[in-house]
Amino acid sequence: MRRTSSILKKHRYGERVYLPSDARDNQYILAEIPLTDNLINLVCGGIDETSVKPYQKFYQSLSHKIFEIVEEHGLSHVNFVANNRLVRVRYSGEQQVLHTEQQSFFFYCPEHNSTFKGYFDGAIRARKIKILFLATGQELRVNSGKFHSKVYQAIKDISKSIGLADNEIKLRDHQHLTFDVFAKDKGATNTISHTFREIADRYESQGQSISNDHTSVTYVVASIPMARRLLKGAEIDYLSDEPFTKLYKKIENAFNKSCQANKIDQAALLANGVSPFVRYDENEVANVSGELIYIGVNPNNAETRFCVHWEADTLVDTLRFVFFADKSDETHHNYGKFVNQAIAAVRAFSDEVDWKKESDDIIVRVHQHIMLNV
């Protein structure tokens, strides 16, 4: 594993972002309730420790209560999750749920998918109860504030119905915008323009206010497949204990050069086979655990955060670039500039490694995330 740091000056690009017309929106809201003894007593009065599945009745009773309440609020795509896995949401024309050891992937299309379902094992006590609300319809961004308000009120009613104290439920509102950086190089001619705004500010403009006591994180992830052309020109000794050292140094140098050319000062390159998940964290802790890397980000810290992680003995399937926004990037006049800066860095990297833009994708996902207590 290698780490590298550099002090780089900030520079911002134009405010308006032009994206391919087939860029995909996703919005999901995750409500998290700690699974305490008190919660169990409030829901079903206790559990039978002698049972093969002592928590089955609890999960069934709580999920039934939750589904009844959210249905009253007109919410049609809700999942009850109690399996100690990180919830991931991705777009797909085919609705499905896939589980790994540490993650649950929910694939769905906002235009035509809906379901009420629970994912739990009655024999296991989960650390948290998670209620996953998936936005539906064609105008997710336009209606995102209304969706948030509807979910917020449903969660308030769930909390009241169970008998929880105020602020016991944590609400995370996630929004993604996903696109291929090289759609135009492949012949796409239609574009749409975006002027990005921090979620709470955008909700205000939609007539939906949220609590000022919330945290906000913004970042951009570029996923780059380990194409054959990346290996060309790099000396690889397959008999060595660390055969990919020179390959990753080549990639690292191209990454550094693209960041420097676009004045990026808060970014990471991950090439160690783990999936990043980013959360607001004033202490900015980073931790690798199994198939995941937790990255804590404090947007109020404008100091340089620039690092590279790779394993010289492992050839990964996908490289991931993560570009982090600080508080100044989340202002209305800088948001679009930040996204353009990240896109320009990805394109600069592709030039350095002779990427075949007309046929190969580099998928970029812009993440916006706010968290508040209910």
- Predicted pLDDT at 263: 86
pLDDT digits (tens, 9 = 90+) for 90-115: 988 889 999 999 999 999 989 887 88
pLDDT digits (tens, 9 = 90+) for 51-81: 999 999 999 999 999 999 999 999 999 999 9
pLDDT at 82 over 50: yes
Residues paired with 355 in a beta bridge: none
243 phi/psi in degrees, rounded to 5: -70, -20
CB 219 within 8 A of CB 312: no
- Predicted pLDDT at 42: 97
Q: What is the mean pLDDT of the chain?
A: 90
Of the pLDDT bands very low, low, confident and very high (cuts 50, 70, 90), residue 292 is: very high
Structure tokens at 300: 């109020």
C-alpha closest to that of 274 among 156, 101, 122, 57: 101
Collapse the DSSP code of 156 into the 3-class scheme (helix H, G, I; strand E, B; otherwise coil) and give the result: helix
CB 73 within 8 A of CB 166: no
**R_g over Cα of the chain:** 22
Question: For 276-303, what is the mean pLDDT?
Answer: 91
Of the pLDDT bands very low, low, confident and very high (cuts 50, 70, 90), residue 11 is: very low
Of the pLDDT bands very low, low, confident and very high (cuts 50, 70, 90), residue 149 is: very high
More confident residue, 264 or 306: 264
Q: Widest CA span of the chain, in angstroms?
A: 66
pTM over 0.85: yes
More confident residue, 147 or 231: 147
Residue for token digits 């994912």? Answer: 119
Question: For 151-173, what is the mean pLDDT?
Answer: 97
Structure tokens at 338: 């930040």
pLDDT at 254 over 60: yes
Other beta carbons within 10 Å of 100: 14
Question: For 191-212, what is the mean pLDDT?
Answer: 84
